[in-house]
Amino acid sequence: MNAILALEDGKIFRGTSFGASGEVYGEVVFNTSMAGYQEIITDPSYKGQIVVMTYPLMGNYGVNKEDVESRKLFLEGFVVKEYSKIASNWRKDQPLGEYLKNNNIPAIEGIDTRALTLHIREKGAMKAVLSTLDLDADSLVKKAKLSKGLVGVDLVKEVTCNKKYVFNAGSSVNKFKVVVLDCGVKYNILRHLARLGCEVIVVPAKTSAEEILKLNPDGLLLSNGPGDPAAVSYVVRTTAALIGKLPIFGICLGHQMIGLALGGKTYKLKFGHHGANHPVKDTKTGKICITSQNHGFCVDIGSLKQKDIQLTHLNLNDSTLEGLRHKKFPLFSVQFHPEASPGPHDSEYLFAEFVKIMQKHKKAVSSR
C-alpha cells in the first residue's frame, strides 16, 4: 500500500505503508537512537508527533510484552528508511508492523530519512500529515498547514491516567512512599522507584496539592510528558504549592514544570532533543553523561532567579539547561531521562539521589 508524508512547507516524501491504514497529523521530529524502537513508540511524550528514526533499519528484533513504556501507543505516526520483514529475537512476540497495525498507528518506509532529518534540522520541526488514504500531494500539504501545532496545546490531559493506582501493590519492602504525578510517565521510572524500596502511587495530572499531601508521601516525582509545558498550568500551580513541603524530583516535562513554578519561562527548541546519545555536563563535578532525551521545549536559563537556584546540568550540544536544584528546599530536576529505556544508564544514580533526599528530609521532620 502506498503512503505519503507531507510537510507544511510543501516537502513531500513517498513510500510504502507498513502500519495501519489511515491519515494522521502531527509535528514531525527525528530520533537518533539506533535501537529501542519499541520503547520509543510506547513513550507517551510522543503524543502529537510523527517520529522519524534516523537509523536506517527498524523492526529486525520485533516487539515483546515486557518492553512497553505505557498502557498504549500515543504517537501519531512512525517513519523509517527500511522496515525489516524478518524479525529474529528469542523475546519477540510479534513483528513491529503487526504491532503498529493492531494499535492503529500508520507507518511509512522506503523514504530518504537522511534527507528528511537534514530538512528538519535546517527548517525546524513542523506540522505534517501521514496518509495512506489521500495520495494527492497538494491536498496533503494544505491539510498539514491547517492542522494544529503543539504550542499552547495541553497534551498531558490526553495521556495521564484516569484514576489513582499503586504501581507495586503488595510489596513488603517499601521504605518510602512516593507520589508520581502522571503527565505521561514512562513505566521504567516507576520500576526504578520500586527497585529502590519505594511504594509508588501514581495519580492523574490534575490531582491537587491538597490531595497529594493527604496521601502523606515522603516525596513527589513529576513525570515526563508531551507538548508545551506552559499550556499545563494546573500542574504548574500544584508544583508551586508543594515546593518546600516535601522532596520533589522532576524529569523532562516535570523539570519544565518546576522551572515554571519557580518563576521561569520555557521556549520551543528548533527541532528538539530526541535520542539516546546526548552529552550532558554536571556543572559541579565536570563529569559528562551520555543521556536519553525526548523534548521539544526547554527552560530559559536567563529567566531563572539564580540566587535561589543552582544550575546543575548543561547540554554540550547547544548549552541549554539540563538540570537544576533549589538551594534551600529539597527539590531538583533534570531535562533528560535518567531511566533511559532506551538509552545509556549513566544517570540512573539520580533515583538513588532522590531516595537519599527523602531519607534526609524524613529524619529532619521526625526530629522536630
- Catalytic residue, from 199, 298, 337, 348: name it: 337
Reported as a single tens digit per residue, the pLDDT across 302-352 is 999 889 999 999 999 999 999 999 999 999 999 999 999 999 999 999 999
- Catalytic residue, from 8, 39, 69, 252: name it: 252
pLDDT at 247: 98
pLDDT at 368: 65
What class is the 2-146 domain? alpha beta
Q: Is it the case that residue 206 has pLDDT exceeding 80?
A: yes
Which neighbouring-strand residues pair with 205? Answer: none
pLDDT at 329: 97
122 as an active site residue: the answer is no
Q: Taking the domains of the chain in order of start, what are their residue ranges?
A: 2-146, 156-366
- Average pLDDT (264-274) is 97
% of the chain at pLDDT higher than 70: 98
Q: Using an 8 Å Cβ cutoff, are 20 and 98 in contact?
A: no
199 as an active site residue: the answer is no
Low-confidence winner among 41-45, 159-163, 306-310 (lowest mean pLDDT): 306-310
C-alpha cell at 184: 505521561
339 as an active site residue: the answer is yes
- Catalytic residue, from 8, 39, 322, 339: name it: 339
pLDDT at 175: 87
pLDDT at 362: 82
Q: Using an 8 Å Cβ cutoff, are 121 and 19 in contact?
A: no
- Average pLDDT (209-234) is 98
Average pLDDT value for the chain: 96
Helices (H), 103-224: 113-123, 137-146, 156-159, 187-195, 209-214
Q: Is it the case that residue 365 has pLDDT exceeding 80?
A: no
pLDDT at 257: 98
Give the sign of the dihedral formed by CA 327, CA 332, CA 333, CA 334.
positive
pLDDT at 265: 98
- When the candidates are 3.40.50.880, 3.20.20.150, 3.90.1200.10, 1.20.1420.20, the CATH number that belongs to 156-366 is 3.40.50.880
Give the sign of the dihedral formed by CA 311, CA 302, CA 268, CA 79.
negative
C-alpha cell at 33: 537512537
